[in-house]
Structure 1
Amino acid sequence: VSPDGRWISCYYRPETKAPWKLAIIPFDGGPPVKTFEVPQNVLFQSLVRWKPDSLALAYIKSGDGISNIWIQPLDGSPSKQATDFKSDQIFWFDWSRDGRQLGVSRGAVTSDVVLIKGLR
């Protein structure tokens, strides 16, 4: 829900096999008033946050194991890259109430494979 309480942002598909879009829906109900293409390297379940002024959405775009935050203005102008990280992935982010600061939790994702033998 947008900070001004007027809008809901969600992932949306107009048809079952259609690509996912980011939709802006009136809080009081009705069809989407605006939709945006979901860029490549953005998972449809990716975290999306409203900017505190309710005029744009922020989302995580990842590629080659590196994540950055992008801003999509609601006026339809092109999205803009807000961070320029050169490594690691973003796990979570949110704006300060006044919108002047952005808190980001990020790091490297690692995994190991362990082989266990002789179990009964």
Structure 2
Amino acid sequence: MHIIGDSAYPLMKHLMKPYRDNGHLTARQRRFNQKLNAARVAIEHAFGIMKAKFRRLKCLHMKDVATVTTCCILHNICLDPGDHFDEDELGLHQLGEDPHPPQPNNRDASHYRDMICAHI
């Protein structure tokens, strides 16, 4: 299991982030970045929906694991085929690339990310 981050975070074994695109990425690395970014956007989208539905999350201390877990469970229960979310009503929008400067990478994590990339 990994935490997915963007370029603002350092690369670590437990924290995956995209390859830095300096114009020399391989096709495999570009595909890895696309998959990772799609997963990150889906996660951010789900958190946006949860914050709109469970407003308590907006003023919650993030170490309140029980409340966050409960909201995640309730969110998943609500995701039956008949439940519809109006993204405009919930204030959701397309998320873009984060403008933070890149962080240094951990060498072991870079090798680990390369191994994951090779299997995608």
The normalised TM-score by structure 1 is 0.23
Larger Cα Rg: Structure 1 or Structure 2? 1
Greater relative contact order (CA < 8 Å, ≥ 6 in sequence): 2
- Larger helix proportion of the pair: 2
